[in-house]
Amino acid sequence: MTAAVADRRAVRPALPAAPAWWADVAGTLAALSLLVVTALWTADRGVQELLAGAATGLTSLGRLTGLLSADLMLIQVVLMARVPLLERRFGQDRIARWHRLAGFTSFHLLLAHVLLTVLGYAGTARQGVLAETWDLVVTYPGMLLATAALALLVLVVVTSVRAARRRLRYESWHLLHLYAYLGVALALPHQLWTGADFLASPLARAYWWTVYLLALASVLVWRIGLPAWRSLRHRIEVAAVVPEAPGVTSVWLRGRDLHRLPVRAGQFLLWRFLDGPGWSRAHPYSLSAPPHGDLMRITVKDLGDDSARVAALRPGTRVLIEGPYGRLTGQHWRGGGITMLACGVGITPLLALLWELPYAPGRTVLAYRARTPEDLAFADELDRLAAERGLIVHHLVGPRAAQPSWLPAYAEGLADAEALRRLSPGVAGHDVFLCGPDGWVDAVRAATRAAGVPDAHVHHELFAW
């Protein structure tokens, strides 16, 4: 099936990008929502109560932190919903950073809300903090559900801390992360039944119902509805499973009307293989060959988690998809020289780009990093690209360097930027595409800056969620 990708030349039409001013509008709306929440708190005597005394002031400040936390949580839900306009305009990396910032800020405000409210109520009732906490949880409407919501959000936040995240399989982390939706849902009755600011005025009720419904609609339409519709429409199934290198397997996928699937080389999808237990866990894999006819290809490295199952997939296994996502596509190419740098299975999206982009012979350089010659995948395809398309290929094979570097150990002593210039003499004027492990990508980015490549011409993307 390798021949299926060999005759591809033309770039697929680019999806319409969001206008540049969309970034300003989106940021303004997010900031405006926080100002509206603060204004509603002020209109409900928030400032007066803040200055009315210690206990009342703590309660009022607790209300404000709770409202800001709820608003940021809903912003976070929209960021999680994979709205196509946001994805195409900002990309996964930036959205993931904002999602993380909004999430941790919201969580800290939520903790402050709980602490301040309990202290304020305890001061007003003139009883101990523990006794007041018990009274709040068991006697106030919606508080048991709110407590369960807090427990779920603590679980999500703890598993999102980088140290914990590195210990979890992606699939497990992804599944746990979805509990954030349940946490938001369980917190709503508390706000409806006991939230004074929610009930304070028709304007407050209109605002909160609007933002909650917008967040819900975003999830239902983009996170659930669109993936379900695309899976039903394209009816994708496994066509063949092909070993590429030790621990590296390609899966050819067959589907209906794949030319209508709005995916481009360099993008990734979330895949669910209906092959038995574990089918519900999503796997983020890039295309190693974009759709051609009724076929497309992904390539997976066995990293010891559910990716090991891929090699055992059988032809005919049905597949559910979510996506496509990502901005590591040919739309960034300015038409001149190209430098691509891949490490390990990071060759996957770059190979798809190499088949798709109509570059001139001798104007594209690929540096492919691997630990051993056996780890180099797609040797035949790269040879064909070199022979027919004029691709210049450098294999950088060897153990990892002792110091952080994108080069193998044998190149120690050679400056990373100088090595990059030697491999690709015109790199300062090229578009640079790179894909590999986080630390390796960081080393490459440092080398590109030192080699004079503007950051705007360096393109990479992480599988963020």
- Is 164's pLDDT higher than 70? no
CA distance 86 to 262: 16
Residue 14, in any domain of the structure:
no
For residue 271, the model assigns a pLDDT of 92
- The residue with tokens 């305890």 is 122
Looking at every residue in the chain, the average pLDDT score rounds to: 83
**pLDDT(173) > 80:** no
139 in any annotated domain: yes
pLDDT above 50: residue 464: no
6 has pLDDT over 50? no
User: 197 with 88, same domain?
Assistant: yes
Read off the pLDDT of each residue in 256-265 and give the average, rounded to a whole number.
89
Range in 146-160, 169-183, 191-205, 409-423 the model is least confident about? 169-183
Domain-embedded: residue 406: yes
Q: How confident is the model at residue 25 (pLDDT cuts 50, 70, 90)?
A: confident
pLDDT at residue 325, rounded to an integer = 86
End-to-end CA distance of the chain: 31
What's the pLDDT at 130?
83
pLDDT of residue 11: 45
Residues of the chain above pLDDT 70, percent: 86
Domain boundary among 303, 325, 347: 325
User: Would you say residue 394 lies in a domain?
Assistant: yes
CATH number for the domain spanning 311: value is 2.40.30.10
Per-residue confidence at 445, pLDDT binned at 50, 70, 90?
very high
Return the sign of the alpha-carbon dihedral for residues 19, 23, 24, 29: positive
For residues 51-77, give the mean pLDDT.
Answer: 87
**Poorest-pLDDT segment among 54-63, 183-192, 360-369:** 183-192
297/360 same-domain check: no
> Model confidence over 269-314: pLDDT tens digits?
999 999 887 787 788 898 998 788 889 999 988 765 566 778 889 9
- Tell me the pLDDT band of 169, cut-offs 50, 70 and 90: low
Is residue 34 exposed (0-12), middle (13-18) or buried (19+ Cβ within 10 Å)? middle
CB 17 within 8 A of CB 88: yes
Of 394 and 331, which is predicted with more confidence?
394
Domain boundary among 304, 325, 346: 325
Q: Are 71 and 218 contained in the same domain?
A: yes
Task: Determine if the pTM surpasses 0.75.
Answer: yes
Same domain as 200, residue 58: yes
Q: Using one digit for the tens of pLDDT, what is the confidence trace for 89-139?
A: 777 777 878 888 888 898 889 889 888 888 888 888 788 878 877 777 777
Query: Percentage of the chain with pLDDT > 90?
Result: 30
DSSP-assigned beta bridge partners for residue 62: none
- Look at residue 10 and tell me if it is in a domain: no
- Where does residue 202 rank: exposed (0-12), middle (13-18), buried (19+ CB within 10 A)? exposed
Same-domain pairing of 182 and 65:
yes
Report the pLDDT value the prediction gives residue 465, as an integer from 0 to 100: 35
Whether 370 and 297 map to the same domain: the answer is no
Are 207 and 64 members of one domain? yes
**Domain limits for position 115:** 20-228
CATH number at residue 382: 3.40.50.80
Is residue 253 over pLDDT 70? yes
- Of 29 and 365, the structure prediction assigns the larger pLDDT to 365
For tokens 């894909």, what's the residue?
435
The pLDDT of 411-437, averaged and rounded, is 87
For residue 217, what pLDDT is reported? 93
Residues 207 and 241 in one domain: no
Is the domain of 320 the same as that of 345? no
Region 51-61: what's the mean pLDDT? 85
pLDDT in tens, 388-397: 999 999 999 9
Q: Kindly tell me if the per-residue pLDDT of 186 is higher than 50.
A: yes
**Domain contains 313:** yes
Please give the pLDDT value at position 382. Answer: 93
Answer yes or no: is 395 within a domain. Answer: yes
Average pLDDT over residues 177-189: 71
**For position 120, what pLDDT does the model report?**
83
Do 285 and 151 sit in the same domain of this protein? no
What pLDDT score was predicted for residue 400? 84
Residue ending a domain, among 301, 325, 349, is 325
Total domains in the fold of the chain = 3
| Predicted pLDDT at 172 | 65
- Predicted local distance difference test score (pLDDT) of residue 8: 47
| Maximum average pLDDT range among 49-58, 133-142, 146-155, 197-206 | 49-58
Are 212 and 262 in a shared domain? no
Residues 96, 168: one domain? yes
In a domain, 9, yes or no: no
